[in-house]
A and B are shown apart, each in its own frame.
Chain A
Amino acid sequence: MQYLPQIIFLVVAGFFGFLILKRIKQISDNIKLGKAANLSDNKSERLRIMLLVAFGQKKMFKRPIPAFLHLLIYLGFILINIEVLEIVIDGFFGTHRIFAPYLGTFYTFLINFFEVLALGVLISCVFFLIRRNILRVGRFHKVEMKGWPTLDANLILIIEILLMVAILGMNGADQVLQTRGVDHYTVTGIFSISASMFPFLNFVDTSNLILIERGAWWFHIVGIFAFALYVTHSKHLHIFMAFPNTYYGRLIPKGQMINMEEITNEVKIMLGMPVEGEATPPPEGMKFGAKDVNDLSWKNLMDAYACTECGRCTSECPANLTGKKLSPRKIMMDTRDRLEEVGKNGLEDGKSLLGDYITKEEINACTNCNACTEACPININPLDIILQTRRYVAMEESGSPASWNAMFQNIETNFAPWKFGAQDRFNWANELKEEQ
């Protein structure tokens, strides 16, 4: 029976570990449904951007207050994991605070430091809950946030608060048990934040105190395992995806559209220009533009999994600001939701991203102003998806708005988007000479 806690720990860790790995495989397979895009160039520049934007959170600081609160949670997440490492080792080997004897007073300092971070995380999460639900910051309550996305956001904050309460409760009970000289409870020195619980914990008898300490310990570690699994199904996945997502982000100017090379050869043939190498017609069944998730690049799909639905893009989008249906955040959420659906049911389910999720009314409303890509703290690009779906509508369906079709026709016949004669293009010069 002595090994029972260790066995339970192994089983629990194995159970969640298996499910998390399975989910990672699923996400990776889904992203691989996207079209090829070679983004293995300029490694040092990519690394620099990742360190600055993801690790350094540079773009978050355009809005200083949420950036500061977010930073507290981020630091807490990264650094408290060192304590989690100790908890995992203790769990596997049936030890208790295994680092304490080796680190001595530094251990006391470390745990104190983690407690300050834990308090920071706790306070930030409370602030964020207030901002979301009481102050009701506008971007958290757009139509695309109804239902699961709102619940998801609140659950994340509540789980994080509970985990922090558990870690502080565990430390508090532990210290009282130390003063009572209970077996296994190595004397460590005072942890200042959780020590504030002494007045309450001192009244609890030793057996119940052990129950509290063990309960909090188990709740915290199982909570972390479960939360890690939850994260892979949630918008909160950005904590991992922000890194590859910024690494593989665009290095070219925001204004540059990705060229469709498959069209270039055909155009050259039509214009009677020499074609490099063997002129190959486009492969059978090739689509122009994007109708479904597999027509997008793998990077577009990675973007979708990286989005944490903060809505900074939507709150800066001129179309959305003036009441149009377009919301860049919804473009990303739709892409992810459709990708998840395709991952489960396959592509041949009679549905598609364009049509069943994203409508033409939305993509037509985009002004290509890049406010969304500029606003995104982790360089997600909703505009690229919009432009690819527009290509599908224009070239595969000839379904662009009538005035755009007229504009195309003007360019074809007059070489200008308006209905002016090509012979009048240079009239301004004569006008100017006459005016002089």
Chain B
Amino acid sequence: MNEMEIPTVADLVAKGERPDVLFWVGCAGSYDDRYKNVTKAFVKILNKVKINFAVLGPEETCTGDPARRAGNEFLFQMQAMANIQVLDGYEIKKIVTACPHCFNTLKNEYPELGGNYEVVHHSQFLQELINEGKVELKGGGEFKGKKITYHDSCFLGRANDVYSAPREVLEALDAELVEMKRCRTKGLCCGAGGAQMFKDAEAGDKEINIERTEEALATNADTIAVACPFCMTMMSDGVKNKEKEESVKVKDLAELIAEHEGL
């Protein structure tokens, strides 16, 4: 196998080149042990289909989303302006990210601060690759006859109306896609949005991720597919709490595709 290419934009620019698309890794994708695997899986796919991509590497910083949602508008705008300076400095036109929170912020909230880019979520990017035949899923294989349920990320679904792309990616795997009772526009949150990821929940009689995990387990799916780092953490914790981690896997879309491709 060829050497894995993970160019930074700075590398490319030094060589007088530019990436067609910037992969915005996000903080979870960079630091979270579980989600780093998603980053790696996505980079493997990008390499396999020879996408001219790059990452910001050490130059990437938090989009500011958690600060903004927790009320700290100053900090959000500081982060956003600094990021826009970097992105514009490199004349970035198109961004793909595996984090719906980064996706929402870059796509919807940066334009008002002067940052205008074409932003896609990796589920949309993967769907495009499949539709264009760049990623060919032969069907059969290890997913044949397996049940997968998809947990909608709120920041992808309701916040941005992306419901079909992740489902089409899963359907291409030839697995049986089973829906939870609350799905699409009625999907139940994993409990981590709106900066909840960064604090304990308020007093109540149940954790939200347990409620959601119970619903996912009720589908009897072998795999709970997610498309968001926070959903990944919350659903994985939920499955562990229910002591089902041996029989039920929580996987990101990119991981499922990479596995299927033997990457």
Partner among B1, B43, B79, B186 whose Cβ is within 8 Å of the Cβ of A316: B186
Q: A407-B67, A424-B31 are in contact. Are A367 and B154 (CB under 8 A)?
A: yes
A255's nearest neighbour on chain B, judged by CB, is: B159
Judge whether B188 and A259 touch: CB under 8 Å. Answer: no
Judge whether A318 and B57 touch: CB under 8 Å. Answer: no
Measured between alpha carbons, how far is A210 from B58 in the docked complex, in Å?
A: 89
Interface membership of A369, Cβ < 8 A: yes
Please tell me which stretch of A1-9, A120-128, A189-197, A428-436 contacts chain B, meaning at least 4 of its Cβ atoms lie within 8 angstroms of it. A428-436
Q: A411-B79, A425-B30, A433-B6 are in contact. Are A387 and B40 (CB under 8 A)?
A: no
* Complex interface residues of chain A between 173 and 200 (CB less than 8 A to chain B): none
Chain A residues with CB below 8 A from B205, complex form: 322-323
- Most chain A CB atoms below 10 A, which of B3, B85, B191, B200: B191
- Most chain A CB atoms below 10 A, which of B69, B85, B194: B194
* Complex interface residues of chain B between 151 and 176 (CB less than 8 A to chain A): 154-155, 158-161
Measured between alpha carbons, how far is A432 from B60 in the docked complex, in Å?
A: 18
* Complex interface residues of chain A between 285 and 344 (CB less than 8 A to chain B): 288-289, 316, 318-319, 321-326
Interface membership of A412, Cβ < 8 A: yes
Interface membership of A202, Cβ < 8 A: no
Measured between alpha carbons, how far is A374 from B204 in the docked complex, in Å?
A: 23
Judge whether B39 and A254 touch: CB under 8 Å. Answer: no
1/0 per position for B221-240, CB-CB distance to A under 8 A? 00000000000000000000
Chain A residues with CB below 8 A from B109, complex form: 256-257, 259
Interface membership of A65, Cβ < 8 A: no
Judge whether A395 and B159 touch: CB under 8 Å. Answer: no
1/0 per position for B66-82, CB-CB distance to A under 8 A? 11111111110111011
Measured between alpha carbons, how far is A401 from B203 in the docked complex, in Å?
A: 14
Chain B residues with CB below 8 A from A369, complex form: 154, 158, 189, 193-194
Judge whether A255 and B74 touch: CB under 8 Å. Answer: no
Interface membership of A400, Cβ < 8 A: yes
Measured between alpha carbons, how far is A191 from B109 in the docked complex, in Å?
A: 60
Judge whether B40 and A364 touch: CB under 8 Å. Answer: no
CB distance from A263 to the nearest CB of B (A): 5
CB distance from B204 to the nearest CB of A (A): 4
Partner among B71, B113, B196, B202 whose Cβ is within 8 Å of the Cβ of A391: B71
Judge whether A431 and B61 touch: CB under 8 Å. Answer: no
Interface membership of A404, Cβ < 8 A: yes
Q: A257-B69, A273-B81, A408-B72 are in contact. Are A326 and B158 (CB under 8 A)?
A: no
A433's nearest neighbour on chain B, judged by CB, is: B4
Chain B residues with CB below 8 A from A422, complex form: 58, 61
Chain A residues with CB below 8 A from B31, complex form: 416, 418, 420, 424-425
Please tell me which stretch of A66-74, A233-241, A264-272, A345-353 contacts chain B, meaning at least 4 of its Cβ atoms lie within 8 angstroms of it. A264-272
A420's nearest neighbour on chain B, judged by CB, is: B31
CB distance from B133 to the nearest CB of A (A): 26
- Most chain B CB atoms below 10 A, which of A252, A268, A373, A425: A425
- Most chain A CB atoms below 10 A, which of B68, B158, B211: B158
1/0 per position for A397-411, CB-CB distance to B under 8 A? 000110110111001
Chain B residues with CB below 8 A from A14, complex form: none
A288's nearest neighbour on chain B, judged by CB, is: B73
Judge whether B62 and A289 touch: CB under 8 Å. Answer: no
Judge whether A252 and B108 touch: CB under 8 Å. Answer: yes
Judge whether B74 and A267 touch: CB under 8 Å. Answer: yes
Chain A residues with CB below 8 A from B186, complex form: 62, 316, 371, 374
Judge whether B70 and A407 touch: CB under 8 Å. Answer: yes
Judge whether A395 and B64 touch: CB under 8 Å. Answer: no
Judge whether A259 and B62 touch: CB under 8 Å. Answer: no
**Interface of chain A: mostly helix, strand, loop or mixed:** helix
Judge whether A254 and B159 touch: CB under 8 Å. Answer: yes
Judge whether B58 and A425 touch: CB under 8 Å. Answer: yes
- Most chain B CB atoms below 10 A, which of A252, A268, A367, A423: A367
Measured between alpha carbons, how far is A365 from B77 in the docked complex, in Å?
A: 23
Chain B residues with CB below 8 A from A253, complex form: 104, 108, 159-161
CB distance from A265 to the nearest CB of B (A): 10
Partner among B40, B154, B192 whose Cβ is within 8 Å of the Cβ of A428: B40
Chain A residues with CB below 8 A from B198, complex form: 403-404, 406-407, 417
Q: A394-B71, A422-B58, A423-B58 are in contact. Are A431 and B36 (CB under 8 A)?
A: yes
Measured between alpha carbons, how far is A252 from B208 in the docked complex, in Å?
A: 28
Interface membership of B132, Cβ < 8 A: no
Judge whether A415 and B104 touch: CB under 8 Å. Answer: no
Partner among A268, A365, A368, A427 whose Cβ is within 8 Å of the Cβ of B81: A268
A366's nearest neighbour on chain B, judged by CB, is: B194
Known contacts A394-B70, A428-B36; 9 further A-B pairs (Cβ under 8 A): A256-B104, A364-B202, A367-B191, A370-B158, A416-B61, A416-B62, A420-B30, A424-B31, A426-B58
Which residues in A have some Cβ–Cβ distance to B below 8 Å? 62, 252-257, 259-260, 263-264, 266-268, 270-271, 273, 288-289, 316, 318-319, 321-326, 361, 364-371, 373-374, 387, 390-395, 400-401, 403-404, 406-408, 411-412, 415-418, 420, 422-429, 431-433, 435-436
3 cross-chain pairs, A with B, having the tightest CB-CB distances, nearest first: A255-B159, A368-B194, A394-B71
A-B pairs with beta carbons under 8 Å apart, 9 shown: A255-B104, A260-B77, A407-B67, A407-B199, A418-B27, A426-B57, A428-B36, A429-B6, A432-B6
